[in-house]
Amino acid sequence: MSGTTTEAGRRNWAGNVTFGAARIARPGTVDELRRTVAEGAAVRVLGTGHSFNRIADTDGTLVSLAELPPRFEVDRARSTVTVAAGMRHAQVAALLQAEGLALANLASLPHISVAGAVATGTHGSGVGNPGLASSVAGLELVGPDGDMVALDRDSAGFAGSVVHLGALGVVSAVTLDVEPAYQVAQYVLTGLPLASLATGDADEMAALLGAAYSVSVFTDWFGAEAQIWLKHRTDAGGTPRLDWFGAAPADRPLHPVPGVPATHCTEQLGVPGPWHERLPHFRPDFTPSAGEELQSEFLLPRAAAQAAFAALRELGHRIAPVLQISEIRTVAADELWLSPAYGRDSVALHFTWHQDAEAVAPVLAAVEAALTPLGARPHWGKLFTATPGQAADLYEHAYGFRELMDRQDPGGKFRNAFTRSLYAGGAA
Ligand SMILES: Cc1cc2nc3c(=O)[nH]c(=O)nc-3n(C[C@H](O)[C@H](O)[C@H](O)COP(=O)(O)OP(=O)(O)OC[C@H]3O[C@@H](n4cnc5c(N)ncnc54)[C@H](O)[C@@H]3O)c2cc1C
C-alpha cells in the first residue's frame, strides 16, 4: 500500500534521531516514486534507519522505499543480481542462497537495506574484503526531475557515485556482484590478553587480523582479555589457527558483549553453514525493531593499528564505563571516492556505546582526538564529532564529489544540513 504519513517512521532505529521531515512518503511503485521526487522541494531517502546521526534527515519529504515491490533479477552471464534498493541484506541473501549464489561479505546485522549500506560505505571484515559498496556493479537512480539515471562501472563518475551519502538522487535499484554460494565455519576464541593488542609482535598481530576470511576482535579497552571471532571459508580448506597470543576456543556459544546470552548470535563452535548464516554476527530471524545503543566507528590505515590500540588502551578507563563493546575489523582498500577505506587497507575501530548521549559525548571526543592524528576517517552513518565537511576533507576526491553533487543535483533538492556541510567544510 502506498501513501504518505506524518506519524510513522519519525525516528531512526536507535531512537536518538527524530526526523524533521514535513512529510513522509511511501511510494508503492517506481512511477509514484518518480512523481514524489519531481514534486518535492527537498527530498531524502530513509533506508532502514540504522544510521545514528542526521545523515538521512530533511525538513522536506522523507521517502521510504519499503513499499516498492521487491525485485530480484539474477544475471548468470555477468555474475550479478539486481535488487530493489530498499530490500534488506537478509532478504537478498536468502534468495541468493536458494539460487546457489552469494555476496562476498555482509555487515554484522543483516537487517540493513542494501542501498542504505552502500550509501554510507558500510563494511564487514576481512583483510581481503573491501566494503560492501565494492560489490556494486550498477545503480538505478531517480534524479531531481523524476528522471531515471542508470550507472555502471563504465559510467563517468561511477567511482564517486556509489558511496553517495544520499546526495545524488534516490537509488531505486542496485546491481551487485555475486559468486557461487560458500560455507563458513565460525570460531570464537577467548583469553586474548588486551595488552597484546598494542604491544604484541606486529607481524603476529597482522597475521591474527588475517587469520580467516573475516576476523573481529571484541574488547572494552580496559578489562584484561579480549575475544576473537574467526569466520573461516571452508573452501579455503583446513582449520584456521586458534591459539593466538594464548587465546583458546570457547566451549560454548558467546555474545560479543560479556554476560549477554548468545541466543541471537549466528552459530559458532566451528559448525559449517551457509555464508549468510555465519558472516553476520546476528541471526536474520532476530529482528530488533529498536536498539538501545549508539555507535561510532573510525577507519585508519592498517599500519597505524597498533598505535591506535595503544591510544585506546590509554583511554580505556574512560571508554569502558560508557561502552557495551568495541570491535576491531579490517577492510581492504577500494577506489570509491568517499569510501572510508578509499585508497588504503584499513583497520576499523568500532564502538557500541550505552544509549546515553550526554555521557558518551566527551569520551567520543577524546577517542576522536586520539585517532584523528593517526589518519582516522569516521563511518558516515555513525556518531562523530567532526563536521561532515571536515570528515570529507580527509578524502582526496572531496572536491570531485562536491562537483558531482552540483552536476547531478544543481538545484540542491537532495541536500540536507549534513551534505550542505560538505561545502562549508571544504576548500573549493
Ligand atoms: C545494529 C547495527 C549494526 C551495524 N553494523 C554495521 C556493520 O557491521 N558495518 C558497518 O559498516 N556499519 C554497520 N552499521 C551502520 C549501518 O550499516 C549504516 O548506518 C547504514 O547506512 C544503514 O543503512 P540504512 O538502510 O538503515 O540507511 P539509513 O540510515 O536509513 O540511511 C543512511 C543514508 O543512506 C541514504 N539512503 C538510504 N537508502 C537510499 C536510497 N535508496 N537512495 C538514496 N539514498 C539512500 C539515506 O538518505 C542516508 O543518507 C550498523 C548499524 C546498526 C544499527
pLDDT digits (tens, 9 = 90+) for 6-17: 445 689 999 999
Q: How far is the CA of 52 from the centre of ligand 1 (A)?
A: 9
Per residue in 60-97, pLDDT (tens digit) is 999 999 999 999 999 999 999 999 999 999 999 999 99
Q: How far is the CA of 195 from the centre of ligand 1 (A)?
A: 33
Q: Is the CB of 363 under 6 A from ligand 1?
A: no
Q: How far is the CA of 88 from the centre of ligand 1 (A)?
A: 11
Instruction: Give the domains, in start order, of the chain with CATH numbers.
Output: 4-64 (3.30.43.10), 72-180 (3.30.465.10), 188-384 (3.30.70.2520)
The upper half-sphere exposure of residue 98, i.e. CA atoms within 13 Å in the direction of its Cβ, equals 8
- Residue 213: burial class (beta carbons within 10 Å; 0-12, 13-18, 19+): buried
Q: How far apart are CA 82 and CA 146, in angstroms?
A: 21
Give the 3-state secondary structure of residue 114.
helix
Q: Identify the residue whose C-alpha is closest to ligand 1 atom 22.
A: 50
Q: Identify the residue whose C-alpha is closest to ligand 1 atom 7.
A: 107
Strand intervals (E) in 71-127: 72-75, 80-84, 101-102
Q: Which of 17, 33, 50, 140 to mutate to test the pocket of ligand 1 (most atoms within 8 A of CB)?
A: 50
CA 144 to chain centre: 26
Give the 3-state secondary structure of residue 173.
strand
- Residue 72: burial class (beta carbons within 10 Å; 0-12, 13-18, 19+): middle
CA-379 nearest atom, ligand 1? 11
* Torsion of the alpha carbons at 386, 50, 223 and 331, rounded to the nearest 10: -70
Q: Is the CB of 219 under 6 A from ligand 1?
A: no
Q: How far is the CA of 64 from the centre of ligand 1 (A)?
A: 13
Q: How far is the CA of 294 from the centre of ligand 1 (A)?
A: 14
228-259 burial, b at 16+ Cβ within 10 Å, e below that, comes to: bbbbbbbeeeeebebebbebebbeebbbbeee
The conformation of residue 170, written as its DSSP 8-state character, comes to E
Q: How far apart are CA 115 and CA 143, in angstroms?
A: 16
Q: How far is the CA of 207 from the centre of ligand 1 (A)?
A: 30
Q: Is the CB of 55 under 6 A from ligand 1?
A: yes
Question: Do 47 and 56 contact (CB within 8 A), yes or no?
Answer: yes
Q: Is the CB of 49 under 6 A from ligand 1?
A: yes
Q: Is the CB of 404 under 6 A from ligand 1?
A: no
Q: How far apart are CA 74 and CA 177, in angstroms?
A: 10
Q: How far is the CA of 190 from the centre of ligand 1 (A)?
A: 30
Give the 3-state secondary structure of residue 127.
coil
Q: Is the CB of 109 under 6 A from ligand 1?
A: yes
The conformation of residue 38, written as its DSSP 8-state character, comes to H
Strand intervals (E) in 246-398: 248-249, 272-274, 294-301, 323-331, 346-353, 377-378
- pLDDT band of residue 233 (cuts 50, 70, 90) is very high
Instruction: With a cut of 70, say whether residue 290 has pLDDT above it.
Output: no
Per residue in 109-164, pLDDT (tens digit) is 889 999 999 999 999 999 999 999 999 999 999 999 999 999 999 999 999 999 99
Q: How far is the CA of 238 from the centre of ligand 1 (A)?
A: 35
Q: How far is the CA of 114 from the centre of ligand 1 (A)?
A: 8
Place of cell 552471464: 77
Q: Which amino acid is at 198?
A: A
Average pLDDT over residues 269-275: 97
Q: Which of 64, 105, 113, 422 to mutate to test the pocket of ligand 1 (most atoms within 8 A of CB)?
A: 113
Instruction: With a cut of 60, say whether residue 229 has pLDDT above it.
Output: yes
Per residue in 320-332, pLDDT (tens digit) is 999 999 999 999 9
- pLDDT band of residue 45 (cuts 50, 70, 90) is very high
C-alpha cell at 96: 541468493
The conformation of residue 135, written as its DSSP 8-state character, comes to G
Question: Do 83 and 135 contact (CB within 8 A), yes or no?
Answer: no
